[in-house]
Amino acid sequence: MDKLAVVKVLDSVVDSLDIPESYYQRASDRHHSIADWLCRPESKLALYSPHVTPQGSFRYGTVVRPIHHEAEYDLDNVVTLQMSKVDKTQSELKLLFGEELKAYAKAHGMLSPLEEKPRCWRLHYADEVSFHLDSLPCVAEEPAIVQAIVAQGVPFELAKRAVAITDQRHPNYLVLSRDWLISNPRGFARWFEERTRVFAQPRLRALVEMKKFASVEDVPPYEWKTPLQRSIQLLKRHRDVMFRETPELAPISMIITNLATHAYSGEADIYDAVTGIVSRMRSFINPLYPRVPNPTAPSEDYADKWSKNPLLEQNFLLWHSQVQQDLARLHTLTRDGMDREIRGRFDVQLTRDQLSHISNPLLATAAAVGPTVFVPSAPKPWGK
C-alpha cells in the first residue's frame, strides 16, 4: 500500500477523534465566567487581580473524544494571583480560592459538590456534554526565581510566567514560607504554541482567505490542526485504548504532549509526523530527575511520579513499544486488516468510503501464516 493511503486513513481517524467546535467555545465561556466571578467586587480574591488562563488539551487543541460515552471532558485553567508567597500559607490560599469557587457553583446552580484535589479544585458541570474543570490557584513567582529559571536557559518571555503552586503534599503546605512548588503551566502553553504556530501558517492563511477569521492572530490553536497536534491526538487515543482497563497506569497526556512537541520536526503529513515523533520521543526523557521537565521551568518534572512508582515508567515504555509497532505495520495491511486494526487500536470505525482507497488482495494467496521458522533443535517438552 502506498503511504498516501495510510495518511488518508490516519487523517480520518483523527477527524473522528475531534470534538465539535462548539465544545471549545463552551470551554472558553466557562473560563470567562469564572474570571468574571473572581474579579467581581465582593470576591475575596479581587484585590489580587486574578488572571484566568485556559490550560491543557482544550488550550493546545489536542482534545480527544473519550472512549467511554459517559466519560467527562477535562477542562483546566490556571488562576494566577498577584500576591506575595508570604501573604498567606499555601493552605490558606487554597481554601480561600475554594470558598470563591463554592460560591460560584452555588450561584450557578451547580449541584455536585466542589471536589478538592492535591493542587486544584474540581468543578463538575452537568450539561448535555459532561465537563469537569480543574482550576489551579497559584501566585506569580518572584523575580529571583524567574531569574534562576532564565539562568537555566529558559527565555525570559517564558520564564516570567512561572508561578508558585499550592500542594497538599508539600511539607510547607500549612506554614508561611517562601518555599512553594514552582510550576509554569502558562509558560508551557506559550512554548507549545510558539513551536506549533510555525507549522500552522499555511492553514492560518487559508482560513483567513476563506474569511473564517479576520486575521491569523484570531485563529485559536484548536483550529490550527497541525500534524503535531493531530499526532498528539492519535497517540493519546492509542494510549486510551491500550489502557482502557487500567487508566491509572496509563502515560499521562502532559508527558505525551511534552515529548511529542520536542520530537516533532515539521513533517508535513500525519503519518510522517507521528512515526517521526514516536521514533524520537524517548530520547527526550532524561536518565535522572527531572525525567520529563517542563521546558519553561526545568525543576518541574511531569514524570515526578515515576520515581515512586516505577510501574508508571515501565508502562510508558510498553505503550511506546506497542504504538511504534502498531504504526509501523499499518502500510502492510489489506482493507479488511486495516478496518480491524483501526477498530482495535483506536476504537474508531472507518466508513466504507474511508477505506475505499485500500485494496484487498484480488486472489487469496496461500501465503505462509506468520513468520517462517526453521527449528534445528529444540528443548523437549517436559512435565512435572
Residue numbers at the binding site for another protein (CB under 8 A)? 242-243, 245-246, 249-250, 285, 287, 306, 310-311, 313-319, 321-322, 324-325, 328-329, 368-384
Cell triple for 92? 490558606
CB neighbours of 116 closer than 8 A, spacing ≥ 6?
A: 94, 98, 122
Task: Give the residue with the Cβ less far from another protein, 212 or 329.
Answer: 329
Cell triple for 240? 486510551
Task: Give the residue with the Cβ less far from another protein, 230 or 291.
Answer: 291
Q: Min. distance of Cβ 311 from another protein in angstroms? A: 6
3-state secondary structure of 122: strand
Q: Min. distance of Cβ 183 from another protein in angstroms? A: 25
Q: Min. distance of Cβ 306 from another protein in angstroms? A: 8
- Give the span between the Cα atoms of 37 and 150, in whole angstroms: 34
CB neighbours of 51 closer than 8 A, spacing ≥ 6?
A: 35, 79, 80, 81, 82
Closest CA to 256 of 242, 244, 239, 272: 239
Task: Give the residue with the Cβ less far from another protein, 94 or 345.
Answer: 345
Q: Min. distance of Cβ 276 from another protein in angstroms? A: 17
Are the beta carbons of 241 and 347 closer than 8 angstroms? Answer: yes
Find the length of the chain. 384
Task: Give the residue with the Cβ less far from another protein, 215 or 283.
Answer: 283
- Give the span between the Cα atoms of 203 and 243, in whole angstroms: 33
Residue 37's CB is within 10 A of a number of other CB atoms, namely 21
Q: Min. distance of Cβ 330 from another protein in angstroms? A: 11
Are the beta carbons of 129 and 104 closer than 8 angstroms? Answer: no
Task: Give the residue with the Cβ less far from another protein, 141 or 240.
Answer: 240
Task: Give the residue with the Cβ less far from another protein, 52 or 303.
Answer: 303
Burial class (CB in 10 A: 0-12, 13-18, 19+), 220: middle
Q: Min. distance of Cβ 209 from another protein in angstroms? A: 44
